[in-house]
Structure 1
Amino acid sequence: MKLLFSTLLFALTLTACQQESQYTKLSGNTMGTTYNLTFESNNVSVEELKGAVTQELETINQLMSTYIPDSEINKFNALTNDQCFAFSDATWLVLVAAKDIYHQTNGAFDITVGPLIQRWGFDAAEYNDKVPAEEEVIALKQSVGTEKLRFDYQGQCISKASPELTINLSAIAKGYAVDQIANIMEQFEITNYLVEIGGETKGHGVNLHGFPWRIAVEKPASGIHQQQLLIVALSNNSIATSGDYRNYFEVNGQRFSHTIDPATGYPITHNLTSVSVIHPSNMYADAYATAFSVMGYDRTQQFAQQHQLPIFLVKNEDDRLTTFANELFNKMIIDPSQSNGE
């Protein structure tokens, strides 16, 4: 009888502890977008955690933003000589990863492509006045190319092969920030959390209901403006999405994307319009998603197979949207009716 009572008492105590799990949400603005954190907050100083998160995001912004005049990146961009500019540990880590992905993707991911993106930054109404001539595109391409950045690994510094070269980390910095906030969660001994910055997301452990984190991925339905959601179970992993099948304009029947191919200097012409990729590092997921938007449908599938990456693709064929998920991604999709909580 004593043994039965003890067993029941232990079971009731365990159930009570499980029911007492508290999850807290924090949100704010950063990097020109928003961040949202959900985490198990038992025995955690939420204010202390919030302070650490805020400080980390401010630090990353000060290092990597092109909108802050005296950021570390802008100081490098302002150089007009071949000085080897020494970078902080954080920015250096991102730059080395960017160079790695540049070579992996044969230049599809390029942190120096900013001048071309800026030049093509117009809409259909402005096309006739602003479309660049071929000669201008060729000239701009001379100031583009990660291979023109000279990395000195011993000195942790970079010099320019051309003074016009500039760096823009917007396609990788948010992913890095997600990873850093996840690291802060771990430092606070939080094992169940979800970190999201501007749509780039990383999950660890389980949600309030004890299930892996549920992440919604937009899946187009029959019409161009219709959609439904895929639900992906995300535990100890991260996901990033790039592209928007509504983000284009047409002139004289020709469609122009706002994604620029660094190899040609022109907007992409293929029909891959959106890609989601899952990777343990959100920094890599973020950059891969951007690269795949440039590479197109077939090259992305080949790359994902070679590197064993779960991917979900949307392509537009004559205004008909179709989707593809490889086997690795399909394994992470769950039935929405079985979804429980976030």
Structure 2
Amino acid sequence: MRRLMLLILLLMLTMPILAQEDTPPVITSDNVAQLQSVQQIDFDDLAYQLNAGWFAMNWSGTRFALRDATGHGVVFDETGESIMTYPDLVDDDTEENNSPQVVDAVFFRDAVYFLSYDVSGVYVNGQPLDELAGIPLAIGSNATDTDSGLIVVEIIDVETQTNVVYEYEVSPSTGDLIYTDRSAISLSSETGNVVRIGRISIPKVVTSTVTGLVSFGIVGQKSVQVGNGTGQPSVFGNINADATHLVWRDNASQTLYLLDFETGENRIVAPLNGAYAQWFFLSNDASTILAVNLDHEPIVVAWDVETGEKTVLGEYRQCNRPQPDMARLSTDGTTLVIGCDTGLDVWRVVDHDDNEAD
């Protein structure tokens, strides 16, 4: 029965979605000045107990998975309309007061997979993953909107105290995960890596040595190594969707850089002069860099990579905490979403001429 309920939920989530009449433009340096807030989702208006802006989203930024105040998962679209909840899809003999708490979530195409755990083990959408022995950290996928791909789960191994990633295929008939392989993430004195950029979701991993040798790789595959030429580690930053470039800043937030993994060029984009930002993003074509909450201000900022010109795009929705809980750029490069304790703020490129015509 549990498997049937889960399959029905997954089928509902993977039903074809009618394309919008106006597909949002992909963000580039040519149109980033028109990037603005187009939709705010207020948690107070939803039928959930939500008090934190942590979220996962689908590849186009139109559906969101969140963890509510009770530790369970919910899914809704950009209008706030509910799609499903995830109360406790676990084995029938699991006690109600021992229901797993959601740790992370990932969209696999348009289906949602919640990673959760309790004292008895680790689960994904209620399926116990008996091969895992550790503390679950994250769930991710290498899937796109066009292929099947794999789902990966990262844990801290209880015996070795190292980060390990488990790879799973998805059963087309039941939606269950089928274990295929495991790989360790190489942060050790042997490899020389001392830093892993935490804003980059598994299975993609970017690490750096203390002298600035940067490695990019997909878990379980060979990595590419490029020196950033500064003699210091690349500590904070992000990659674009195709992982061709890395935007990063130094530890003291003095300079904003763009590292090309293919050519090895490390370009100085602009001075930061100590201005801190927790969230950096890079457009899919690597032509523009975005920052959220720059210098502790509730603003979205963009830099043109070619010219270094900085543009303040505006303020995001009001939050009760100094910084957002989460920010993400959609895989298709069209949508920036900022989440905090009051709700979600959805940003897209808007044609101002069309608005005036309306």
State the TM bucket, normalised to the shorter chain: under 0.3
TM-score (structure 1 length as normaliser): 0.23
Structure whose residues are more often strand by fraction: 2
Max Rg structure: 1
Which structure dedicates a bigger proportion of its chain to helix?
Answer: 1
TM-score (structure 2 length as normaliser) = 0.23
